A and B are shown apart, each in its own frame.
Chain A
């Protein structure tokens, strides 16, 4: 089954404790991206990747890191989480950078930083 898999689905952590949210897709998509969803703000892009070893900042990259060492994986790293990073996070993939098809989303990761 074609899918984007995120883990974990839920995470409660403390300020400053490094964490990684994993994202994997099995559709051989070139493009992957991370979004955060906050009430009243919709989904905002954090980082994106157009292919292996090619990543770039989105609209709200502060406090986040990503890597794309393999085509299928695109982890989101919070080196020192803070309470303002409490949010619902989505990983997305698309066949190519033209974004002329719908984004395929993971199930979401609800992160709480206390």
Chain B
């Protein structure tokens, strides 16, 4: 079975705090892709990052960083020095080449950054 688990339903932090959003995935495929999307209050889905299963390098983009660990099947997302504009729902997603033909989404984590 293929599955994405985001155990944190909602997180509240004070502005400038660091926050990590957890994502755990399940798949038996050796080739797969992981994604993070942001959904601000306006409702659209904004693509943040894609990572393939053969690339375990961590990535940093400004205040955002991602930690991909195959050993624990995790793809966690950290926001450093959070800002109010980071308040959104964040989704982790998985796709594979095994013929499921869909992006498998977690249930999302709602992040509230308080001023």
Q: Which residues of A contact B (CB under 8 A)?
A: 31, 33, 35, 40-45, 48, 50, 56, 58-59, 88, 90, 92, 97-105, 107-108, 110
Contact = CB atoms under 8 A, between A and B. Distances in A.
Given A42-B107, A105-B45, 20 more contacts: A31-B101, A33-B102, A33-B103, A42-B4, A42-B6, A43-B93, A43-B105, A45-B102, A56-B101, A58-B102, A59-B102, A88-B43, A90-B45, A98-B97, A100-B95, A102-B47, A102-B50, A103-B47, A103-B93, A105-B44
A45 B93 CA distance: 12
Interface of B: 4, 6, 9, 33, 35, 37, 43-45, 47, 50, 52, 91, 93, 95-97, 101-103, 105-108
B27 to A, nearest CB: 13
Contacts, number: 63
Nearest to B97: A98
The interface residues of chain A, by DSSP majority, are classed as: strand
A95 to B, nearest CB: 12
